[in-house]
């Protein structure tokens, strides 16, 4: 997925092999630092990985915010798979606010 230009449009480029390794290392470090990060998204009906979603800390407008991040294979766009991340942030982590930073769009709930 990280090397597919259609999926990576929001990043404005697809990833090289080196970029993918940096990405994976960053995810591991997030789990060590915060205790959470991105999860593999597995479609129950097939057992196939369709993307990743989870919670990350992101810089936004000079501060750090808790964000729901996701990246899905193109066939699964416009579905509401990230709802579980929002529920986890509020119910398990007891966060007061969670953000979604989307290229050209920002939402806070």
pLDDT tens series, the chain, 109 aa: 888 877 777 777 788 899 989 989 988 999 999 999 988 899 999 999 998 889 999 888 899 999 998 888 888 887 777 788 889 999 999 999 998 876 644 444 4
- The reply to whether 103 falls in a domain is yes
- The reply to whether 63 falls in a domain is yes
What CATH number does the domain containing 102 carry?
3.40.630.30
- The reply to whether 18 falls in a domain is no
The domain containing residue 44 runs over which residues?
36-108
Domains in the chain, number: 1
- The reply to whether 47 falls in a domain is yes
What number of residues does the chain have?
Answer: 109
The pLDDT, as a whole number, for residue 3 is: 85
The pLDDT, as a whole number, for residue 45 is: 92
- The reply to whether 51 falls in a domain is yes
- The reply to whether 15 falls in a domain is no
What are the C-alpha distances in Å from 66 to residues 38, 91, 102?
12, 14, 13
- The reply to whether 62 falls in a domain is yes
Residue 67 forms beta bridges with which residues?
56, 99
- The reply to whether 86 falls in a domain is yes
Distance CA 76, CA 20 (A): 21
The pLDDT, as a whole number, for residue 76 is: 83
């Amino acid at each position: 997925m990280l090397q597919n230009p259609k999926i990576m449009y929001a990043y404005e480029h697809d990833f090289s092999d080196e970029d993918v390794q940096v990405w994976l290392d960053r995810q591991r470090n997030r789990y060590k630092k915060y205790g959470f990060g991105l999860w593999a998204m597995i479609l129950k009906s097939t057992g196939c990985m369709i993307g990743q979603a989870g919670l990350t800390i992101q810089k936004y407008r000079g501060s750090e915010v808790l964000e729901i991040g996701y990246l899905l294979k193109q066939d699964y766009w416009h579905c509401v798979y990230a709802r579980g991340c929002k529920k986890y942030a509020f119910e398990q982590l007891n966060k007061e606010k969670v953000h979604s930073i989307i290229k050209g769009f920002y939402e806070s709930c």
